[in-house]
A = this chain, B = another copy of it.
Amino acid sequence: MDERVTFSAVTQAAGLLRGVAHVTPVLTSRQLDGLIRGQVFLKCENFQRTGAFKFRGAYYAVSRLTPPGTSGTVATISSGNHGQALALAASLLGVLAEVVMPRPFSRSKYQAVLAYGGRVIETANRQTAEEALQELLERERATHVHAFNDSRVIAGQGTVMLELQGQVADLDVLLAPVGGGGLLSGLCVVGHQVLPTLKIFACEPNGASDAEESIRLNQIVQVPAPDTLADGLRTSLGSRTLPILRAHLEGVLTVAEEEILAAMRFAYERLKIVIEPSGAVALAPVLRKEPVLFGKRVGIVLTGGNVDSDVFVKALEPGC
């Protein structure tokens, strides 16, 4: 767990994911291009297996942690996409995934973990979830696969950028949402290895703008009660992701809740795709014609498409 995230780990992850993860398409839109008088490339990880990029990191981590063919157990805390991703990755690699889900969580996420063959341990809150995880690690000797603060997970997420760079040449700017920073750390490591001049921006909701402050203060800041529909972005950075982001990021762009809903609606109306609030956070800056994007070739990671219909309906309401 103390290894650094290297470019060669990402290429190794890409090799293991070949034929297992989807090579997700890049969509373009003349309307988006027009807004910034540049070119926008949407990396559609909402089309990834389990509906989010998380599958990449989970699969690579599980395949590294447990020798092929051995039985074993992996465990994590997740009420979101990582839990589903770990459940599927474990199932494909023949090990058991135990997913501790602190309430509140959506029924669809719960059912998805079960459908992918995982076991769910429901807990009342985050603190009891930590206790439940400790017990699994001690009693069942399960191996912990943290959702983002894990070098292997970060390397797996980095394959998004490896793929994108093969699909689109000469990006000037890259936008991706930041929650714990696992995806963004992987993007940074790969992005600057191949394109040293790439400007990478993190995007986060106003109601959970801990990453911006954490980077400024160089310490992990927690927002006491994150207030955002972007459930994947309520978490804080980790000890492994903060230093990577500090070293690589050009800046952090924050967006309002209405902008998140408007971006989901734009994706529905114009792009004909379903994106979850956390993914919409990285599209919103284009819609408000963020000045740093003007005239640029901009890559945007649409991180996932898992959104309960009651939330999606909000984005469809007129006036959003």
Q: Which residues of B contact A47 (CB under 8 A)?
A: 27, 271-272
How big is chain A's contact interface, by range? 20 to 34
A46 adjacent to chain B (CB < 8 Å): yes
Chain A window 272-300, contacts with chain B (Cβ cutoff 8 Å), 1 for yes, 0 for no = 11110000000000000000000000000
A51 adjacent to chain B (CB < 8 Å): yes
* Residue pair B46, A272 in contact (C-beta under 8 Å): yes
Q: Which residues of B contact A268 (CB under 8 A)?
A: 274, 309, 312
A238 adjacent to chain B (CB < 8 Å): no
Q: How far is the CB of A298 from chain B (nearest CB, A)?
A: 19
Q: How many copies does the complex hold?
A: 2
> From residue 197 to 229 of chain A, which have CB atoms closer than 8 A to chain B?
none
Q: How far is the CB of A241 from chain B (nearest CB, A)?
A: 26
* Cross-chain contact of A313 among B25, B28, B271, B316 (Cβ < 8 A): B316
Q: Which residues of B contact A273 (CB under 8 A)?
A: 272-274
* Residue pair A316, B305 in contact (C-beta under 8 Å): no
Q: Which residues of B contact A313 (CB under 8 A)?
A: 313, 316
Given contacts A51-B270, A108-B269, A272-B274, 4 further A-B contacts (CB under 8 A): A273-B273, A273-B274, A309-B316, A309-B317
Selected A-B contacts with CB under 8 Å, 28 pairs: A22-B28, A25-B25, A25-B27, A27-B47, A30-B49, A44-B272, A46-B272, A47-B271, A47-B272, A51-B270, A51-B272, A108-B269, A268-B274, A268-B309, A268-B312, A272-B273, A272-B274, A272-B275, A272-B305, A273-B273, A273-B274, A274-B274, A309-B316, A309-B317, A309-B318, A312-B316, A313-B313, A313-B316
Interface residues of A (CB under 8 A from B): 22, 25, 27-28, 30, 44, 46-47, 49, 51, 108, 268-275, 305, 309, 312-313, 316-318
